[in-house]
Amino acid sequence: MSVCVLAITRTTAPMDLRGAAYVRSTLRVVGAGALAAVIADAPESQTIDTLRAAHYQVIAALAAKSDIAPMQFGAVLEDDAAVEAWLATAQGDLSDIVARVAGCAELIATVTIAVTDLDPPTGEISGGSAYLRAQAARLRAEERAHGRARERARLLIEAVEPFIRAHRVFDVREASDAIAAADAAFLVSREQARYVRDKLNDLADGDVRLSGPWPPFSFCAPLETENAAKALAG
């Protein structure tokens, strides 16, 4: 039976799993050294949407009661022994991640920019080459819009930098191709989350959507050295 890995924590962290389940699979903890993983048997006959929703619900419930590092959706290992072996092998990196996000939540500011300034067509206006030129112009316009979204995200980061532990910027896809977007993710102490959100709210205009606090998903991969050092220093 494969097992889904849902979260990583310290073995010393309080962990109350009573009544919690991943779809219909009971949660359990396996440990190795100073780390523990919250896992569940991989459920049978479920849609991806159901599993993704369950993954988030379990992590949000765990994060509300304890310090955890959330796993990316789809982390599946062969059995409990494989989880223990992975924890033991990756102990150093995982300990850094757990330390980085301890006591923290994440806020997200999604910046959206309309894709405009399409390059005017040149040369022939019909046929395959014209289509390809139009596509290329579209891609250049999207990249320019993404660049503006990233720049706006960085301005938001600068405005709240003294109050956050770390930050990251991601290009993201919107439902419409006419919109380019970037997520600015802010790692903040739980105590500061409301304050930082209020500050961001003051800065946000119609092109910025704020959400959170979320479990700190965006800070569970290696950060830039400088950023990570700041996060670890708290």
Partner 1 sequence: MSGSAHPFMDASGPRLVDVVDRLLDRGVVISGDLRLSVADVDLLFVGLRVIASSVDTIDAARQPKSKREAIAP
Token pair 């009544």 is found at: 19
Judged by CB under 8 A, does residue 22 bind partner 1?
A: no
d(CA 61, CA 155): 32
Half-sphere exposure of 185 (CA within 13 A, CB side): 21
Q: Can you give the three-state secondary structure of 191-203, one letter per residue?
A: HHHHHHHHHHHHH
Instruction: Decide whether 18 or 173 has the Cβ nearer to partner 1.
Output: 173
Token pair of 203 as six digits:
């800065």
Judged by CB under 8 A, does residue 74 bind partner 1?
A: yes
Supply the minimum distance, in Å, between the C-beta of residue 125 and partner 1: 25
Supply the minimum distance, in Å, between the C-beta of residue 53 and partner 1: 7
Judged by CB under 8 A, does residue 65 bind partner 1?
A: yes
Contacts of 19 (CB under 8 A, 6+ apart): none
Question: 102-141: which residues touch partner 1 (CB under 8 A)?
Answer: 103, 105-106, 108, 110
Question: 3-class DSSP state for residue 128?
Answer: helix
- Least Cα distance to 38 among 50, 26, 49 occurs for 26
Instruction: Decide whether 2 or 116 has the Cβ nearer to partner 1.
Output: 2
Segment contacting partner 1 by CB under 8 A, of 74-82, 149-157, 159-167, 198-206:
74-82
Question: 3-class DSSP state for residue 182?
Answer: strand
Phi and psi at 52, nearest 5°, equal -65, -45
Instruction: Decide whether 48 or 124 has the Cβ nearer to partner 1.
Output: 48
Judged by CB under 8 A, does residue 156 bind partner 1?
A: no
Question: 3-class DSSP state for residue 151?
Answer: helix
Question: 2-21: which residues touch partner 1 (CB under 8 A)?
Answer: 2, 5, 8
Judged by CB under 8 A, does residue 77 bind partner 1?
A: yes
Segment (H or E) for 32: strand 25-32
Judged by CB under 8 A, does residue 226 bind partner 1?
A: no
Judged by CB under 8 A, does residue 176 bind partner 1?
A: no
| Binding residues for partner 1 (CB under 8 A) | 1-2, 5, 8, 42-46, 48, 51-53, 55-57, 59-60, 63-67, 69-78, 82, 86, 89-90, 94, 97, 103, 105-106, 108, 110, 170-173, 175, 183, 190, 193, 209, 211-215, 217-218, 220-221
